Amino acid sequence: MHTSCEYCGREGFYGEKIYESHKWIIYLAPSQRYLGTCVVALKRSCRDLNQLNKDEWIDFGELVILLEKAVSKTLNPTLFNWSCFKNSAFRSKNPKPEVHWHFIPRYEKKVKFDDIDFQDPDFGYIPQPVQRIIPEKTHLKLKNLIQKQLI
Ligand SMILES: [Zn+2]
């Protein structure tokens, strides 16, 4: 049964780690249909948002500010989408969902990064789980760019 999350890529693989706080880890997602897409995953196994403790919420709130600031400064998107779906885990008979957020910058206008055009074809609507893999060197450049703002 295929249970990997369309927004994250492979099952259990959220991308390349770019930052770690006390309670969460930020990864640069493998798919970059929306430039700067990240995954913010909780460091412990936890099934539902209602099971997060106060420290985890506070830490998450601080990360939201940090990450939005970092990506605004570097890529200048129009807005950010945050989603916590967990749908893919429930395609399995014995679902073990993990709390993780999809952080998706959205762009009204086309942006150029590393000489590649990024157009948000779904602007104004929910992001589509269509994979876009970018060259490894561009991925690394993007990772370094965001990472520099976070540390
Ligand atoms: Zn996911």
Q: For residue 7, tell me if it sits in a domain.
A: no
Q: Report the distance separating Cα 51 and Cα 33, nearest Å.
A: 31
Q: How far is the CA of 93 from the centre of ligand 1 (A)?
A: 18
Pairing mode, if any, of strands 100-106 and 79-83?
Answer: antiparallel
Among candidates 77, 50, 63, 59, which has minimal Cα distance to 22? 59
Q: Which domain holds residue 121?
A: 16-150
- The tokens for 12 are 């259990």
- For CA atoms 108, 114, 117, 123, the dihedral sign is negative
Q: How far is the CA of 14 from the centre of ligand 1 (A)?
A: 7
Q: For residue 57, tell me if it sits in a domain.
A: yes
Q: For residue 126, tell me if it sits in a domain.
A: yes
- Write down the pLDDT at residue 3: 54
pTM of the model: 0.92
Q: How far is the CA of 145 from the centre of ligand 1 (A)?
A: 22
- Write down the pLDDT at residue 23: 97
Q: Give 88's contacts (C-beta < 8 A, 6+ positions apart).
A: 3, 4, 5, 6, 11
Q: How far is the CA of 78 from the centre of ligand 1 (A)?
A: 22
Q: Give 72's contacts (C-beta < 8 A, 6+ positions apart).
A: none
- Write down the pLDDT at residue 1: 41
Q: For residue 38, tell me if it sits in a domain.
A: yes
Overall domain count for the chain: 1
Q: How far is the CA of 95 from the centre of ligand 1 (A)?
A: 14
Q: How far is the CA of 109 from the centre of ligand 1 (A)?
A: 26
Q: How far is the CA of 40 from the centre of ligand 1 (A)?
A: 9
Q: For residue 9, tell me if it sits in a domain.
A: no
- Write down the pLDDT at residue 68: 98
Among candidates 47, 68, 53, which has minimal Cα distance to 22? 53
**What are the mean pLDDT values of the chain's consecutive 10-residue runs (151 residues total)?**
65 86 96 96 92 98 98 97 86 83 97 97 94 95 97 83
Q: How far is the CA of 115 from the centre of ligand 1 (A)?
A: 28
Q: How far is the CA of 127 from the centre of ligand 1 (A)?
A: 13
Domain of residue 62, CATH code: 3.30.428.10
Q: How far is the CA of 101 from the centre of ligand 1 (A)?
A: 7
Q: How far is the CA of 75 from the centre of ligand 1 (A)?
A: 22
Q: For residue 50, tell me if it sits in a domain.
A: yes
Q: For residue 34, tell me if it sits in a domain.
A: yes
Tell me if 81 sits within 8 A of 54, measured CB to CB. no
